[in-house]
């Protein structure tokens, strides 16, 4: 049962001592989150993974995060994902075949190698990060996207941004790039469904990917809430749609959202557009300061793949480690890891 699972996780954890570090993303459920040695957003957790000395890095998050931990850690360190089915549906919206096809199609209109910097959101497979490494590109997260786009525009005049159109559009717009200079690449269509002229005129080419959780938040949800409580502050993740971000006073990563609400004056009201586990925990935490925190959507929307990591899976990997067995290792092939590391190190240097 749950209590027994909890006790056994603590025992296995204690037996492993400093040989193991547990990293927990802010979207993890409480029963898993409470076991994390470090918690954070994607950027913070990648830095922690690169700085950790532990033999085993157990990543309570999703697949691309454990891949990053493997790429950035030493070769003798081992990254583990408690449930291998914990993927990211947005990351899956771009794959190497489709991105290479896009690059080839762009080459019929312009010279991508000198005119386009490929930028991949960290929510992507390792071979796409390697693609960016090969083509002079870079990785970004939701907390450094603006710095990364500035770096990219400093090198080439256009950006190909994948997989999340919303992070790309919201960040570009905040940097002063008008919407008319952004186009959406429909990866199901030849030439992304765009004309040569549209491609030539664009400064940002945005892959048509999106997060199925954040797309559930709608501008009318904000309007309805504000009618009832006009003094509410609206804070959202940049994976939300453009229309939602336009109605928010604060936009940023999960770590930014937590920090902003925690640092605010007491007795303030917040409407938060990001995953439910984070919002529930934050609401509970700041309630004693008189702050009220509300979930942006009237319906429950959780990240079902983040939710896959349950205490049973965590226990299973830890007890196996205690017995000397590594299960659910995430190992990126060396050749891919080397090129992906280049794109990730570009990011860590810029941000």
By CB under 6 A, name the binding residues for ligand SF4.
Answer: 62, 88-90, 123, 211-213, 239, 275, 303, 305-306
Q: Smallest distance, Å, CB 226 to ligand 13P?
A: 24
Nearer to ligand 13P, 9 or 140 (CB): 140
Q: Which residues pair with 20 in a beta bridge?
A: 56
20: Cα separation from own chain's centroid: 23
Residue 241 known to bind ligand = no
CA nearest to 141, candidates 237, 61, 205: 237
Backbone torsion region of residue 232, taken as left when φ is above 0, otherwise alpha when ψ lies between -120 and 50, otherwise beta:
beta
CA dist., res. 9 & res. 137, Å (int): 41
Q: Smallest distance, Å, CB 335 to ligand SF4?
A: 26
Nearer to ligand 13P, 147 or 320 (CB): 147
Nearer to ligand SF4, 103 or 307 (CB): 307
Q: Smallest distance, Å, CB 177 to ligand SF4?
A: 23
Q: Smallest distance, Å, CB 298 to ligand SF4?
A: 18
Say whether 114 sits in a helix, a strand or coil. helix
C-alpha atoms less than 13 angstroms from C-alpha of 159 in its C-beta half-sphere:
31
Q: Smallest distance, Å, CB 39 to ligand SF4?
A: 15
> Which of ligand 13P, ligand SF4, none sits in contact with 89, Cβ below 5 to 8 A by type?
ligand SF4
For residue 151, give every residue at least 6 positions away whose Cβ sits within 8 Å of its Cβ, in sequence order, or none. 138, 346, 350
Residue 28 interacting with ligand 13P (CB under 6 A): no
Q: Which residues pair with 7 in a beta bridge?
A: none
Nearer to ligand 13P, 184 or 274 (CB): 274
Residue 305 interacting with ligand 13P (CB under 6 A): no
Residue 50 known to bind ligand = no
Q: Smallest distance, Å, CB 172 to ligand SF4?
A: 19
Beta carbons within 10 angstroms of residue 266's beta carbon: 9
Nearer to ligand SF4, 56 or 121 (CB): 121
Residue 211 interacting with ligand 13P (CB under 6 A): yes
CA dist., res. 317 & res. 315, Å (int): 6
Task: State which of positions 40-79 bind ligand 13P (CB under 6 A).
Answer: 41-42
Which whole-number Å values give the CA distances from 293 to 17, 231, 236, 274, 279, in the listed order? 36, 13, 12, 12, 7
Binder among 28, 39, 52, 123 for ligand 13P (CB under 6 A): 123
Residues in the chain: 351
What residues form the annotated binding site for [4Fe-4S] cluster? 88, 211, 303
């Amino acid at each position: 049962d749950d209590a027994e699972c909890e006790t056994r996780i603590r025992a296995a954890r204690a037996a492993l001592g400093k040989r193991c570090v547990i990293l927990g993303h802010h979207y993890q459920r409480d029963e898993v989150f409470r076991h994390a040695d470090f918690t954070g957003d994607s950027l913070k957790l990648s830095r922690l993974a690169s700085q950790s000395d532990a033999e085993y890095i157990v990543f309570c998050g999703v697949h691309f995060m454990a891949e990053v931990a493997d790429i950035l850690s030493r070769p003798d360190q081992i990254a583990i994902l408690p449930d291998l089915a914990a993927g990211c549906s947005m990351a899956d919206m771009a794959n190497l075949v489709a991105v290479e096809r896009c690059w080839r199609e762009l080459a019929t209109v312009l010279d991508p190698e000198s005119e386009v910097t490929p930028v991949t959101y960290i929510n992507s497979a390792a071979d796409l990060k390697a693609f960016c490494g090969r083509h002079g590109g870079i990785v970004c997260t939701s907390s450094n996207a603006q710095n990364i786009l500035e770096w990219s525009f400093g090198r080439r005049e256009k950006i190909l941004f994948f997989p999340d159109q919303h992070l790309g559009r919201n960040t570009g717009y905040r940097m002063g790039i008008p919407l008319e200079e952004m186009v959406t690449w429909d990866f199901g269509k030849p030439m992304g469904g765009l004309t040569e002229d549209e491609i030539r005129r664009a400064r940002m080419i945005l892959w048509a990917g999106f997060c199925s959780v954040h797309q559930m938040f709608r501008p009318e949800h904000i309007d309805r809430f504000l009618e009832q409580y006009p003094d509410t502050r609206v804070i959202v993740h940049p994976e939300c749609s453009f229309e939602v971000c336009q109605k928010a006073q604060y936009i940023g990563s999960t770590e930014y959202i937590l920090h902003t609400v925690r640092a605010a004056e007491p007795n303030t009201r917040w409407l938060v557009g990001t995953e439910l586990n984070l919002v529930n925990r934050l609401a509970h935490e700041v309630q004693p300061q008189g702050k009220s925190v509300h979930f942006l959507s009237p319906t429950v929307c959780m990240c079902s793949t983040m939710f896959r990591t349950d205490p049973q899976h965590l226990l299973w990997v830890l007890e196996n480690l205690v017995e000397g067995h590594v299960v659910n290792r995430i190992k990126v092939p060396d050749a891919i890891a080397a090129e992906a590391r280049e794109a990730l190190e570009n990011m860590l240097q810029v941000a």
